[in-house]
Amino acid sequence: MKQAGFSTYLYANTELDDDLIRSITENCRSVWYKKNEFLLRQGDICRQVFFVEQGLLRQYSIDEKGKEHILYFAPENWLVADRESIFFNEPGSYFIQALEDSKVTIADQSFINNLAEHNPSFLTFNNRLLHNHIRHLQKRITQLLSATAEERYLDFIKIYPDILLRVPQAMVASYLGITPESLSRVRKDLAQRHFKS
């Protein structure tokens, strides 16, 4: 399990100068969450963005029948938040939960908004994150509507190469929008064709 650092992430993925990165990291805080602990619950208003330094989170909802639907896994070096709740200041639709003991850097949305308002370079970075998030959501929707279970699974292991070793198969099936039995069949079929996952 690799450990990430928020400042390292910012240096690698932005063109922000040293002073701005220092200001960002000084205004964030690191918190350890134990396995199964919640960072956010459905119905809460999300006011923070979470960066995973170490560990693994998931963002998911529960429908009226009590069924879980996983939107994302967030391993090391991932940012996660309920963006709809943040932007509209409304009760959120999602839970965010630690699946392992996890070290998370937390940035308050009010601080991020202030940075974006006064720093064009940070605004550009923030907009790129938002549009990347939208792109991934659109791809997820298209896959759930049109891709086969096998195609979804193959894409999943490209995005999350080590998650299969870290979460129960039922959670992977939830993310893929299929039953655990269907996932078992897909993996068996691929194994029989000499595919190693």
User: Six-digit token pair at 46?
Assistant: 């999300």
Instruction: Tell me what pLDDT residue 196 has.
Output: 55
* Tens of pLDDT, residue by residue, the chain (197 residues): 455 689 999 888 888 889 989 989 999 999 999 999 999 999 999 999 999 999 999 999 999 999 999 999 999 999 999 999 999 999 999 999 999 999 999 999 999 999 888 888 888 988 998 899 899 999 999 999 999 999 999 999 999 999 999 999 999 999 999 999 999 999 999 888 865 55
Segments making up each domain of the chain, as ranges: 6-121
Instruction: Tell me what pLDDT residue 26 has.
Output: 92
Residues 174, 107: Cα–Cα separation, whole Å: 29
Question: CB neighbours of 35 closer than 8 A, spacing ≥ 6?
Answer: 98, 99, 100, 101, 102
Instruction: Tell me what pLDDT residue 2 has.
Output: 53
Residues 156, 153: Cα–Cα separation, whole Å: 5
Q: Token match 């999602």: residue?
A: 94
Q: Are 82 and 104 in contact (CB under 8 A)?
A: no
Strands, E assignment, the chain: 29-33, 38-40, 48-54, 57-62, 68-74, 79-80, 95-98, 102-108
Instruction: Tell me what pLDDT residue 13 has.
Output: 85
CA-nearest of 114, 104, 97 to 78 is 104
Query: DSSP 3-state helix, strand, coil percentages of the chain (rounded to 5)?
Result: 50, 20, 30
Instruction: Tell me what pLDDT residue 192 has.
Output: 86
Residues 90, 145: Cα–Cα separation, whole Å: 28
Q: Are 52 and 104 in contact (CB under 8 A)?
A: yes
In this structure, which topology does domain 6-121 adopt according to CATH? Answer: Jelly Rolls (2.60.120)
Instruction: Tell me what pLDDT residue 195 has.
Output: 55
